[in-house]
């Protein structure tokens, strides 16, 4: 058995981990592409147990409570043509989080996080392309020691643009499942473009695709995410 502890810096909501970062840490434990299901909000600064099950599946638990689970997979995703880097810069000016943000301390997309602390990936809409996009230049705090970004940070960068692709009206949604694949690790200081788009919507469930490209338009990583709107307690009364 292995353990996994998410540092407070890597929060999504203030008291739990960013889902993409958590999924990336789980996949890093496995060493290959995994579909990670989030059952409970992953707690911060708390050792979690990672147990290997049959078939290479993993269970992430806190005591007897299951926080998440993961299974090996191959990601297949129909990509959207990426915008140019400076198109993404312009799109980020329209980032919905500048007007209102549910989780302003989010490690990935939080507006309260300064440079060098948060990733500050502010994905704004490009309506004519039917996607959202943001520039991303990784800072040195994400360096794995060789000038390249650690894979869990690639996974984190692929998270929040998907939310803004499926929740343009800022309705409340939680990440239910996340599958990220890294084609290549980007370098610290490299200009990248992060994109997100809606794949399907079915009631409270929304599927999003996300991708990271370098300045030459080369695909560096992609992900598929399931976002779920919580049930309204009034509907169950």
* Fold equal for 2-72 and 85-234: yes
Residues 6+ apart with CB under 8 A from 90: none
Please report, for the chain, how many H helices and E strands are present, in that order.
4, 11
Q: What is this structure's pTM?
A: 0.95
Where the chain has pLDDT below 70, the residues are: 233-237
Q: Please give the pLDDT value at position 233.
A: 54
DSSP state of 16: B
The answer to whether 72 and 32 are in contact (CB under 8 A) is yes
Give the CATH H-level superfamily of domain 85-234: Hotdog Thioesterase (3.10.129.10)
Q: What is the pLDDT of residues 42-67, one digit of tens each?
A: 999 999 999 999 889 999 999 999 99
* CA Rg value for the chain: 17
Taken in order 32, 10, 228, 93, the sign of the CA dihedral is: negative
Residues 97, 100: Cα–Cα separation, whole Å:
5
Q: How far is CA 196 from CA 101, 203, 216, in A?
A: 18, 20, 18
CATH code linked to domain 2-72: 3.10.129.10
Please identify which residue in the block is written with the tokens 């643009």: 161
């Amino acid at each position: 058995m292995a353990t996994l502890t998410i540092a407070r810096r890597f929060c999504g909501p203030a008291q739990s981990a960013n889902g993409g970062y958590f999924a990336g840490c789980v996949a890093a434990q496995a060493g290959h592409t995994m579909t990670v299901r989030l059952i409970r909000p992953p707690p911060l600064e708390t050792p979690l147990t990672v147990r290997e099950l049959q078939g290479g599946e993993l269970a992430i638990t806190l005591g007897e409570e299951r926080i998440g689970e993961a299974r090996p997979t191959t990601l297949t995703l129909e990509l959207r043509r990426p915008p140019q880097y400076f198109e993404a810069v312009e799109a980020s000016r329209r980032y919905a989080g500048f007007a209102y943000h549910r989780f302003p301390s989010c490690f990935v997309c939080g507006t309260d996080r300064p440079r060098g602390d948060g990733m500050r990936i502010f994905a704004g809409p490009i309506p004519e392309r039917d996607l959202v996009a943001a520039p991303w230049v990784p800072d040195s705090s994400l360096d794995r020691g060789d000038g390249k970004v650690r894979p869990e940070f690639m996974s984190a960068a692929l998270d929040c643009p998907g939310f803004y692709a499926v929740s343009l009206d800022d309705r409340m949604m939680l990440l239910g499942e996340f599958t990220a694949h890294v084609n290549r690790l980007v370098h610290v200081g490299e200009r990248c473009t992060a994109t997100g788009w809606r794949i399907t919507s079915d009631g409270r469930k929304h599927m999003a695709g996300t991708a990271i490209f370098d300045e030459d338009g080369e695909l560096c990583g992609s992900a598929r995410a399931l976002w779920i709107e919580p049930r309204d307690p009034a509907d169950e009364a």
